[in-house]
Chain A
Amino acid sequence: DIQMTQSPSSLSASVGDRITITCQASQDISNFLNWYQQKPGKAPNLLIYVASNLETGVPSRFSGSGSGTHFTFTISSLQPEDIATYYCQQYDSLPITFGQGTRLEIK
């Protein structure tokens, strides 16, 4: 199975900050990488697909990049409504695997 390692596991930042989350795959997954946001008590929500494509309706402050084994997820200017846990997910091969999540808090 492909292991997905996210860092950091938690992050505290201020409104307006630029924040970056990284996701490392245990083997080359090309660009078969997605990012999800999960707010407390809610289902996950797709933000970025195929490493860098913004899902329809998702604000442009969210972005993703990377290929191979190293990927990054960025929020260019943190907003209060971005408080959530963020997960990366690979689909290069089954089983689909998720990162352990990054919990984002506002200072």
Chain B
Amino acid sequence: QVQLVESGGGVVQPGRSLRLSCAASGFTFSRSGMHWVRQAPGKGLEWVAVIWYDGGIKHYADSVKGRFAISRDNSKNTLSLQMNSLRAEDTAVYYCARDASGSFRYLDSWGQGALVTVSS
């Protein structure tokens, strides 16, 4: 079955960097678009970024554009999110999610989430 496991969360000071990873298994990773979605404590879902199945196209939410970078390694079935210049408002649970298509349509499998806390 589809499994997505995030790692790399933790506590980081404002202005510093953190890298999240998502290990995928149980499906053909190289055929699926992949997303990062976040959820601040007690808040709703906020889409962060998407990467096409081949890594050729990437899109970001305005709130993270220029600071975050999504990438994937299809040889290792791994999705990543490099987060730079972190701010307090980036504090959230970060979910990786599989798209049912090679780009973006609907998110049919989600990881358990990784908590990122930005605090001094």
Contacts and interface: CB of A to CB of B under 8 A. Distances in A.
Contacts of B95: 43-44
Contact of A96 (B44, B104, B108, B111): B104
Interface string A32-67: 101010100001111001100001000000000000
Contacts of A32: 105
Given A36-B107, A95-B61, A96-B47, 11 more contacts: A38-B45, A43-B110, A45-B110, A46-B106, A46-B107, A49-B105, A85-B44, A87-B44, A87-B45, A94-B50, A100-B44
A43 B108 CA distance: 11
14 contacts: A43-B110, A45-B110, A46-B106, A46-B109, A49-B106, A85-B44, A87-B45, A91-B106, A94-B104, A95-B47, A95-B59, A96-B47, A98-B47, A101-B45
A43 B44 contact: no
A1 B105 CA distance: 16
Contacts, number: 59
B46 interface: yes
Interface residues of A, number: 24
Interface centre among B100, B107, B113 (most CB of A within 10 A): B107
Interface residues on B, range: 20 to 34
A72 interface: no
A46 B46 contact: no
Interface in A65-107: 85, 87, 89, 91, 94-101
Interface string B96-120: 0000100011111111110000000
B50 A96 contact: yes
Contacts of A36: 45, 107
Nearest to B35: A96
Contacts of B113: 43
Contacts of A96: 35, 47, 50, 104
Contacts of B44: 85, 87, 98-101
Interface in B28-86: 35, 37, 44-47, 50, 59-62
A43 B47 contact: no
